[in-house]
Amino acid sequence: MDLTGNGALVTGGASGIGAAAVRRLAAAGARVAVADRDESAATALADEVGGIALTGDVADPERMPAHVAAAEEAFGRLDVVLLNAGVTAGQSGVVDLDLAGYRRIVGVNVDHVVFGLAAAVPALRRAGGGRVVATASLAGIVPMPGDALYTMTKHAVVGYVRAAAPVLAPDGIRVNAVCPGFADTPLIARAKPQFGDFPLLSAEDVVDAIEGVLERGEPGECWFVQPGREPGPYGFRGAPGPAGGAAPPKVSWSDH
């Protein structure tokens, strides 16, 4: 992967999958903006790779536009955006519901992806096109009964990516998602003893898939990542249409 001269932005970039992605992008020649709530960790990693550190809450509607602007100003362009920040719910969301926790997981896992893509599009257009990869989860394509709220947010990311991709493809902007199974990262640190001998992905396994998506992914593809398997696009089954084979209408709500 050759990203010489490219500008990149990684959210949740100071640890786990994000940190591994930052190092991989920098090794490929990109200049990388490391965005994370942990200012000291973001600064240390940015110094390590010769990038810049950005801090703040990505669920804040003003934060992602600010991050994009800072990265484009520092690097002169923005070509790659990894919307990787994510949190777990810490509650079932079914038999219990903590409103603050619910708002938090939706803000980070869903809002930040929407805010991030919307903010990045003008910069990517100015660069002549680019690539956006959102870190979803296997819980974005199959249910995870133990965490219904997490499942909901990751399904939302997958749906958003698949619907946004064809809109942006004509501009040379490719939008994808990666859907890893359980990975040995700080996100599962508290629950890790429960996994026992269950095989876990490493952060590098997930970044291998991200690199594959960046190099050869097609618009809207959502790549699964599972231990011992070659990552690849998940094959979604089409929903049945109306009887008679009528094609669905192409509706643009912006026209109404």
Name the residues annotated as catalytic: 150
Cα–Cα distance list, 73 to 8, 35, 80, 83 (Å):
12, 15, 14, 19
Write down the residue that tokens 């920098």 correspond to: 26
> Given CA atoms 62, 185, 23, 218 in this order, what sign does their dihedral have?
negative
DSSP string, 118-159: HHHHHHHHHTT-EEEEEE--GGGTS--TT-HHHHHHHHHHHH
Phi, psi of 247 (to 5 degrees): -75, 145
Euclidean distance between CA atoms 131 and 238, whole angstroms: 25
